[in-house]
Structure 1
Amino acid sequence: MRLGRLFILSVCAAMVALAVFHRRWLPPAYDPTQPLDLAAAWTFMTPLKLRLLSASPELCRAALLTSRLPVREHAHSGTAACPLEGVYTVGGGAVSLLPASFLASCSLAVRWSLFESQVAEPVTQAVLHTGLSRIRHVGSFACRDVRDRPGAQSSHATADAIDVSAFVLDDGREIPVSAWNASAPVGLYLHRMRDRACRVFGTVLSPDYNSLHASHFHLQATGFGLCR
Structure 2
Amino acid sequence: MRAGGRVALALWLGVSGLGIAGLGVFHRRWLPAPYDPLQPLDVRAAWTPVSPLKLGLLGLSDPFCNAALATVPWPVEAHARSGTATCPLRDVYTVDGGDIRLAPGGFLASCSLAVRWALFETQVATPIARDMFGSRLIAIRHVGSFACRDIRDRPGAQSSHATANAIDVAGFTLADGREIPVSAWHGGGPDSVYLHRARDGACRVFGVVLSPAYNALHAGHLHLQATGGGLCR
Normalising by structure 1, report the TM-score.
0.97
Could you list the per-position Cα deviations for residues 117-172 of structure 1 after superposition, in whole angstroms to 9, with x for gaps in the alignment?
00010011112221111000000000000000000000000000000001011111
Structure 2 CA distance, aligned partners of 1:93 and 1:13? Answer: 45
Q: Percent identity?
A: 63
Of 88, 104, 129, the residue aligned with 2:109 is 104
After the TM superposition, which residues 25-36 of structure 1 pair with which residues of structure 2 at under 5 Å, given as runs?
A: 25-36=30-41
**Take 1:121 and 1:137, find their aligned partners in 2: how far apart are those partners?**
16
Does residue 130 (structure 1) correspond to residue 140 (structure 2)? The answer is: no
Residue 199 of structure 2: aligned partner: 194
How big is the shift at 1:3? 2.9
TM-score (norm 2): 0.94
CA distance in 2, matches of 1:6, 1:80: 57
| Cross-structure match for 1:43 | 48
1:191-218 residue CA offsets vs partner (Å, 9 max, x unmatched): 1111111000000000000000000000
Q: Secondary structure at the match of 2:91?
A: strand
Please report the RMSD computed on the Cα atoms of aligned residues, expressed in angstroms: 1.1
How far is 1:75 from its partner? 5.1
Q: How many aligned positions are there?
A: 228
1:17 equivalenced with 2:19 (yes/no) = no
Q: CA deviation at 1:76?
A: 4.5
Question: Paired residue for 1:83?
Answer: 88
Q: Which of 172, 182, 189 lines up with 2:187 in the alignment?
A: 182
For structure 1, the residue ranges without an aligned partner over 5 or more in a row are none
Higher strand share: 1
Distance 2:112 2:8 in 1: 49
